[in-house]
Amino acid sequence: MKRIAITGGAGNIATQLRGFLRPEVEHIRLIDIKPAQNLATNESFFEGDLADAGAMRVALDGMDSVIHLGGLPREFDIDEMLPTNILGTYNVYEAARANGTNRVVFASSNHATGFYPRSRTITPLDVPRPDTRYGLSKCWGEMVAGFYYDKAGIRTLSIRIGNAGPYPNSERAAAIWISARDLFQLVKIGLTHPDIAAAVVYGMSRTDAGWWRDELAERLGYRPQDYTRDHLRPEPIVESPVAAFFQGGGFCDRDHDGIIRLRDENGLVVSRDAFQ
């Protein structure tokens, strides 16, 4: 918690977290391809592309920890996803290893498991079911985290962030929303908890939706302060049958043939009748 780098330092979540981090740390280095605004006296900006390994090495020089938020935050074509979310995440870890930066908080996503039905309660131990190339890139990031712990002792908390918008704007968002202060609480656990090697948690405030059960987050001391329904401001959002069935919502739609399929934990076909 002394010298902290934030990739994607000009983005929405970084901007939310900075307000909580500033009073608690010595220095924050904001790394991004677009300029970060309103720098405080203990903040600096480093212009750098995640795809540029050399730039990331320089960017993490002297940093104790990195909060890796940078990259594409939703679905894009694979050729855009590769340099940013795939190579970019790898570059951040290589740069961390080169600089002795041995703590990472990785902004993973609920879209790593978006193809689980809404009727199912899952835990971080259930196998990932990414709903997009974006979700695939988050699964990659979680695997990279484990690889760098095993190889180099870099410790990571991957937070599968639900919805970090200013407020939940739909029933789906209310099932998975996380307030800024609850997200900061998890980030702080990720930066400081001595037992973390390469752990994965879900990032949500208190909710009664029951999509995720996360005993690990609780064991690590996470006690969410906000209740999602208190903040719900529903907007008219029409979902396809596929989107409405799966946890990933509209992210599941792209390139989907419209047939809802289920599989069990062994990867075998489950008929929809048997499931319900």
Ligand X SMILES: NC(=O)c1ccc[n+]([C@@H]2O[C@H](COP(=O)([O-])OP(=O)(O)OC[C@H]3O[C@@H](n4cnc5c(N)ncnc54)[C@H](O)[C@@H]3O)[C@@H](O)[C@H]2O)c1
- Residues of the shown chain interacting with ligand X in the complex, contacts defined by CB under 6 A: 8, 10-14, 32-34, 49-51, 69-71, 73, 84, 88, 107, 109, 161, 163-165
Q: How far is the CB of 119 from ligand X (least distance, A)?
A: 22
**6, β-bridge pairs:** 30, 67
Radius of gyration of the chain (CA): 18
Q: Which residue number, 107 or 199, has a Cβ lying nearer to ligand X?
A: 107
| DSSP-derived secondary structure for 215-253 | HHHHHTT-----BGGGG---------HHHHHBTTGGGGT
Q: How far is the CB of 107 from ligand X (least distance, A)?
A: 3
Give dist(CA 263, CA 271) in Å, integer. Answer: 8
Active site residue 134: yes
Q: Which residue number, 103 or 262, has a Cβ lying nearer to ligand X?
A: 103
Q: Which residue number, 73 or 103, has a Cβ lying nearer to ligand X?
A: 73
Q: How far is the CB of 8 from ligand X (least distance, A)?
A: 3
Closest chain position to ligand X (CB):
11
**What angle do helix axes 12-21 and 180-192 make, rounded to 10 degrees?**
70
User: Residue 28 contacts by C-beta under 8 Å, 6 or more apart in sequence?
Assistant: 4, 5, 6, 9, 18, 21, 22, 40, 42, 43, 44
Residue type, 239: E
Q: Which residue number, 74 or 272, has a Cβ lying nearer to ligand X?
A: 74
Check 90, 93, 116, 134 and give the catalytic one. Answer: 134
Residue type, 62: G
Q: Which residue number, 71 or 149, has a Cβ lying nearer to ligand X?
A: 71
User: Residue 164 contacts by C-beta under 8 Å, 6 or more apart in sequence?
Assistant: 12, 13, 16, 177, 178, 180, 183, 203
Q: How far is the CB of 68 from ligand X (least distance, A)?
A: 7
Q: How far is the CB of 14 from ligand X (least distance, A)?
A: 6
Contact yes or no for 40/4 (Cβ under 8 A) = no
Give dist(CA 137, CA 68) in Å, integer. Answer: 13
Which residues are known catalytic residues?
134
